Structure 1
Amino acid sequence: MRLPFSRRCRVMWGAATLVALAGCATPPPAAPPLEHIAPPAWIAPLPHAGSAVALADWWRAAGDATLTELIDAALQDNPSLIAAEARVAQARAQVGSQRAGLLPQVGAAASASRGNAGGVGSTPPGVDPPVATTLQAGVQASWEIDLFGRQRALVNAASARAEGAQALAHLARVALVGDVASTYHGLRLCQALLDTARQDVASRFETARLALISRDAGFTAPATAALADASAADGRARTTQQQAACDVQRKALVALTGLPEPDIEQKMAVAQVQQAPAALFSIASLPADTLRQRPDVWAAEREVLAARAEIVSADAARWPGLSLGGNIGVLQLRAGGATRDFSTWQFGPLQLSLPIFDGGRIAAGQAAARARYDEAVANYQGRVRQAVQEVETALTQGAAARAREADARAAVGGYRQQFAATEALYRQGMANLPQLEEARRTLLVSEITLAQLLNDQQAAGVALYRAAGGGWQAPAGGAAP
């Protein structure tokens, strides 16, 4: 017995519902919130003198116009930033592509032909067959109805990845600013060491000159004069090596900013403004609040959301699919002065597909989606841990550098007095050259240590800027996984 059409539809719909209920799978739980992953408080001391300077533009408040000019130049038409924005555009285009799957697909085609309309035996012998013109046009439409949200889940996944790409674009900006600042401070350190080396080599050559005069007068042994010459040569070699290191640093700054090297050299010739050792910005006292400003943590959260949505899409592949089609065709045949119209239209079919046996393809897709979700959650947790480590490391290094500065300055002052006293005794003949050179080396090491310590303070500030997210703010309304 054949059931009526309406009864058959109800039967098919009931079967689809049963299959859907049987194949329905609960998506995995969301990833744990930041408060459950991050520590309750920072272990390293926070910058006690940090001000409320906007972290995104912290370098503008640093009082160093050269650094500001270099960073502004680097942020213009930088290849890494352009590539990051291109990735954002790709992610947004993917969202549009997935949304197109929710809408009907309509296509059109048209054709025209002219030829012999007759066939063998269709016309009397000796009579030419008529020439016919055929004009044909048609519109076809299809729509896969998203009954169980498979396509909507793919749209959600693409949207989450687009948000993550936007956050990573800001991360590229933070990385570029940090690289420029680190290279700039490194070049300033190199210049300071080069100035120290030049002053040291000038002192060595003066000592060598006096030793040569004393040797010629018979007051100094030739070996002592040779030692003075060797010390001067060693100082000159160190100066040459330091100059080469500064040239390399300057070329790295050229690559980051895109400015010509003579412009960089001119800007770096300006004396650096001495900055206070305290931090120029403060960070949130709670680790979770700080980590929410990390674009890479946000992007990892978006990837968890995307993977979770893909699980929903993979599960929906087990459920029935409903599609609807239709077409309109226009066909005209002109032959022998007559025109005939063969236009047609069709609505349907309304097709219901039920996956019964696919060799395990759908199950494998579900397993792969859940594995990607587990990977995304693990990456998210690992990213949070790495972020905590980076902030703690930057805080520790900054606190240690600030705590050592007073002792380092005191050491330089003491060793400078010792060298001056030893040099005076040497010129009076009351100290020998090895004693003078020992005092010189000790002073040189202490001056290099102080210069590196001041650079460590700057490097810790840049590292904290990176670790705190560079002033990025999560978009309003973004849900955490």
Structure 2
Amino acid sequence: MQSRPRSLPLSLLALLVATTLSACAVGPDYASGDAPGAVLPARYAHAGAAAQASTNQQASSEALRQWWSGFHDPVLDRIIDCVLAQNLDLQAALSRVEQARAVAQLADAALLPSADANLQVQQQRQSLRSPLGQIASNFPGYERNHTQYDLGVGASWEIDLFGGLHRQREADLASAEAAAADGLGVRISLAAEAADAYFRLRGAQARLQVLEQQIAAERQLSELVALRLQDGFSNRRELAQAQARLAGARAAVTPVRAEIEVQRNRLDVLMGAAPGSLATQWTSDAPTMAAAPSLDALPAPAQLLRRRPDVMAAERRLAASNARIGVAMSEYYPKLSLSGLLGFESLSRFELSERTLQPTAVAGLRWRLFDFGRVDAEVAAAKGAHAEDLSRFRQAMLKATEDVENALVNESEVDQRRLALQQQKAASEEALRAVTEAFDHGAESRVEVLEQTRQLLAAQDQLIVAEADSARASVGLYRALGGGW
């Protein structure tokens, strides 16, 4: 009974020292605002004048969050909502986020004591031929059968003297945040993929209508040339040319029809449905090409760190590798663990008394004093991984800026082509009106009218492709800016 008063102050002293030292974490500290990213320009080189003037202002978060609503297409809104609710890749990404968060919770739990309870009842019949049985059986009152009762409550705690567990917690939390950013990236990619497939589908549907009109015009022109050949007003070369154009128009329909079905299947899979189900129902109406929305303000290149999930994930992985340097460095220092067990043991029955009390207290110290450079190698490996993640983070920043610049260039060039084709279509419509008027007055033949109709339909086909490309280019810009979450 004299040892207990001395052990209590020692335990309190050890706990006080451990608590004081646990506030000191070895290794470099990290702040997200201090991430040494790549040197980026203040504004984009290929942004338009209107957007360039406001490039340092934060773009409307609402416009970027649900950019697809800017197309004012309810079918597109319905498809993307279904994709974000049912896509299997997104569900898998969210599951990975949950796994990473669970690992982070384990790191939190490692900082706290753990306790467990144990209850055991053991029955045994002693062999008389065993060494113990042969000796014990010679004593009066020996019983071969006995029951042993064990009841105990134990607790253990690894004191984080030099912050290794805290650094591990930082690393796991940063890894969980990186996984969450990856999940956002999957969400953005899926929304953009769905919009891209939708506009390709609508463009192919509109082209099919024009190609069918073109086939009808080519057929009329071929028949008219054949009649003129019978009357001697044409020759076989003109007929062969007309027939070749008709065959070419018919051949152009095949890949367009295939494109329609391929994009419908693509949308179905993105929506987590069987190919040939939802998209066929939702896109069976007459196709319409919505005007692509434009951004009046662009987030500055440096702001992509807060907009692009891939950059956010790269920065969080950089933070995690920085914390792992501290985890490795903590192995230079001793580790202290405390454990205790309050138990009762009896051969007769459960008896919670002083006679059956069997307490245990253990204080353990582990220190890797001589490991022949293993800790040095672990620290060097952690620093090397951090240097790699730093390069990846800088590359992610540059890649994000490149994506935006390329998207701006693509959007600008596609828009110029669309405007030029609109002018071509308008001129073709005017030419058709003129030749039709001349035909009505007998100044032109039916062949000229059909030829001009064919040219107008060809211009409409090219314009439809340009309008679909313009919408897809707008989607690419929103995707590059990190819109969609």
TM-score norm. by structure 2 comes to 0.81
Counterpart pick for 2:120 among 90, 107, 111:
111
User: SS of 2:112's equivalent?
Assistant: coil
Q: Contact between 1:42 and 1:285, CA under 8 Å: does it hold in 2?
A: no
The CA deviation at 1:82 is: 0.9
Q: Contact between 2:120 and 2:149, CA under 8 Å: does it hold in 1?
A: yes
Matched residues in 1 for 2:240 and 2:265: separation?
Answer: 38
Q: Which residue of 2 aligns with 1:189?
A: 203
- State yes or no: 1:257 paired with 2:257: no
Matched residues in 2 for 1:32 and 1:445: separation?
Answer: 56
Cα distance change of structure 1 residues 28 and 343 upon mapping to structure 2, 3 Å threshold? closer
Deviation string 1:104-146 (CA, Å, 9 cap, x unpaired) is 2333333323334672243459998453222123333322110
The CA deviation at 1:323 is: 1.5
User: SS of 1:39's equivalent?
Assistant: coil
Give the gaps of 5 or more residues in structure 1: 473-481
Deviation string 1:408-455 (CA, Å, 9 cap, x unpaired) is 21122324555676799999897898x999867755553333222222
Q: Contact between 1:112 and 1:136, CA under 8 Å: does it hold in 2?
A: yes
Q: Which residue of 2 aligns with 1:42?
A: 44
- State yes or no: 1:204 paired with 2:206: no
Counterpart pick for 1:137 among 141, 151, 155:
151
Q: Contact between 1:201 and 1:239, CA under 8 Å: does it hold in 2?
A: no
User: SS of 1:334's equivalent?
Assistant: coil
The CA deviation at 1:172 is: 1.4
Cα distance change of structure 1 residues 366 and 171 upon mapping to structure 2, 3 Å threshold? same
Cα distance change of structure 1 residues 438 and 384 upon mapping to structure 2, 3 Å threshold? farther
- State yes or no: 1:452 paired with 2:452: no
Q: Which residue of 2 aligns with 1:302?
A: 316
The CA deviation at 1:285 is: 4.8
Q: Which residue of 1 aligns with 2:384?
A: 371
Residue identity matched to 1:157:
A
User: SS of 2:234's equivalent?
Assistant: coil
Q: Which residue of 1 aligns with 2:422?
A: 409
- Measured on the aligned residues, the alpha-carbon RMSD in Å equals 3.9
Deviation string 1:181-235 (CA, Å, 9 cap, x unpaired) is 1111111111122122111111010011212223334443344334323322221
Matched residues in 2 for 1:282 and 1:215: separation?
Answer: 59
Q: How does 1:56-455 map to 2 (within 5 A)?
A: 56-116=65-125, 119-123=133-137, 129-258=143-272, 261=276, 263-272=278-287, 275-276=290-291, 278-279=293-294, 281-334=295-348, 342-348=356-362, 350-418=363-431, 443=456, 445-455=458-468
Matched residues in 1 for 2:35 and 2:355: separation?
Answer: 67
User: SS of 1:41's equivalent?
Assistant: coil
Q: Contact between 2:37 and 2:393, CA under 8 Å: does it hold in 1?
A: no
Matched residues in 1 for 2:366 and 2:172: separation?
Answer: 26
Give the stretch that moved more between structures: 243-252 or 298-307: 243-252
Q: How does 1:8-47 map to 2 (within 5 A)?
A: 33=35, 37-46=39-48
Cα distance change of structure 1 residues 219 and 36 upon mapping to structure 2, 3 Å threshold? closer
Matched residues in 2 for 1:273 and 1:238: separation?
Answer: 21
Matched residues in 2 for 1:449 and 1:290: separation?
Answer: 35
Give the gaps of 5 or more residues in structure 2: 1-5
Matched residues in 2 for 1:451 and 1:376: separation?
Answer: 45
Deviation string 1:341-360 (CA, Å, 9 cap, x unpaired) is 55311222x23233211132
The CA deviation at 1:160 is: 1.1
Cα distance change of structure 1 residues 94 and 302 upon mapping to structure 2, 3 Å threshold? same
Matched residues in 2 for 1:327 and 1:305: separation?
Answer: 39
Deviation string 1:83-123 (CA, Å, 9 cap, x unpaired) is 11111111110011112221223333333233346722434
